[in-house]
Amino acid sequence: MTRVTIIGAGISGLATAYALENSAGGAELEITVIERQPRCGGKIWSRLENGYLCEWGPNGFLDNKPATLQLCKKLAIGNKLLRSSDNARKRFVFCDNALHKLPENGAEFLLSRLLSARGKARLVAEFFIKAKQDDSDETLAEFARRRLGAEALDKLIAPMAGGIFAGDPETMSLQSCFPRIAELEREYGGLLKAMLKLAKQKRQRRAAGEQVASAAGPGGVLTSFDGGIEELTRALSDNLRAPIRTGLGVESIEYYDHFVLELSDGSQIDTDVVINAAPADALAKMLDRITPTAAKLLRTIPYAPLNVVCFGYDAAKLECDLNGFGYLIPRSQGCSVLGTLWDSSIFPHRAPDGKVLLRSMHGGATNPRAASCTDEQIRVLVQADLKRIMGIEIEPEFCRIFRHQRAIPQYIYGHAALVRQLRDELRQMPGLFLTGNAFDGIGLNDCVANAEATAAQALKFIYN
């Protein structure tokens, strides 16, 4: 019987344990999951308060990748999936004191006032710019200026980076954060050339009756559950045979011919395989004694702070149009939030009847001081932005603020090379594997796919 210990019971750790248990050799494994927090799920936490369903962290996943959909099917919860309403196709950017709908086709692009005539011309000129000749990394900002121009970077690319990663495009690695964009340039010679061919494919799919995400969105349809995205992690933990020891942290890892984990209650665990699904900085502390070099590399992965601010309102008292997904805000507009999602327009049952739920993101890599704001300061700042952008002057009937000092790992320039170096360093301890959102993708789909790949690697190590 091979002993396997998984550190972390977020989506990555739980999905890894589930994949191992349901593998061909799962019956020969003695699996234990350890979680420092008193609950499972990590940053996935759906909280129902006063009739408002608030997401503490992510609010769903996109259905454009198979891993999470297949996992839901295996867990027998595929029939419970809830896809976002058609409203979610309409996405906005706040710029020059107005909300601009992101164009979904050429005609809307020409009529949109989001970009100036000069900015549109520069963007169209991307069609004639030669593709990059090598596959070296570059920052997202460098890529955007090279291919799309400074205005498109400010009003389109940077807000998208803030909305997805809470990141700073001046430091973000293009290859690690948006590998598909780099791939489109290599494959098609440019983004506009790729968009023309892919748009034709989308039209054909729509004609066939498929639900297709807005061209302005990130691709795929945002998907969750009626009770919130926590239904996924709850189903995983409910279906595991392995014990999940919550409220117990790993203080250090020692390696001999096997691993010895020192736990926060003073006890030890002897194990043959360790799969780490904890944050990078947490793993760094565990490895300080046996591999200072790996610990140092882990500490170079920065995290952005983020405050998730949920406001509930009486719909009858609001005069703004909430027919859409929400909006993002360029940094140049001087607002304190990265953007606001109109949660009760995206999914049903997110607010009581006659009520509205808005969810704003405050902080990010470009605003690290947000971590030190008090709740009252956060509330005042977010309300000021809502007043400026949506004309909301009334006090919210409901308010919840969820603070994340280290919310999202930042894949800065050279991230892929750093991860390769880290894994090379850890080869001196065979049987130690890494998964989680600090390394190979921050999205929920990425975490599930990487968890399954990590489980496969661990099984190969055990049985070869």
Which pLDDT score, from 0 to 100, does residue 205 have? 72
- Could you tell me the pLDDT band of residue 220, with boundaries at 50, 70 and 90? confident
Give per-residue pLDDT as tens, 225-262. 999 999 999 999 999 999 999 999 999 999 998 999 99
Burial of residue 130, with CB atoms counted within 10 A of its CB: 0-12 exposed, 13-18 middle, 19 or more buried = exposed
Which pLDDT score, from 0 to 100, does residue 212 have? 56
Give per-residue pLDDT as tens, 102-145. 998 778 988 999 999 999 999 999 999 999 988 899 999 999 99
Residue 217 in this model has a pLDDT that exceeds 60: no
Which pLDDT score, from 0 to 100, does residue 110 have? 86
Which pLDDT score, from 0 to 100, does residue 464 have? 83
- pTM reported for the whole predicted model: 0.93
End-to-end alpha-carbon separation of the chain, Å? 15
DSSP element (H, E) containing 340: strand 337-341
Three-state SS at 204: helix
Q: Which residue has the higher pLDDT, 257 or 346?
A: 346
Taking the mean position of all CA atoms in its chain, how far away is CA 99? 24
Which pLDDT score, from 0 to 100, does residue 100 have? 97
For 394, the token pair is 């009334």
CATH fold for domain 104-217:
protoporphyrinogen ix oxidase, domain 3 (1.10.3110)
CATH fold for domain 48-87+302-409:
Polyamine Oxidase; Chain A, domain 2 (3.90.660)
Please give the average per-residue pLDDT across 319-348, as a whole number: 95
Quote the mean pLDDT of the chain: 94
CATH fold for domain 2-37+230-301+411-463:
FAD/NAD(P)-binding domain (3.50.50)
Name the DSSP letter for residue 256.
Answer: S
Report the greatest alpha carbon distance in the chain.
68
Which pLDDT score, from 0 to 100, does residue 215 have? 46
Domain ranges of the chain: 2-37+230-301+411-463, 48-87+302-409, 104-217
Contact between 43 and 229 under an 8 Å Cβ cutoff? The reply is: no
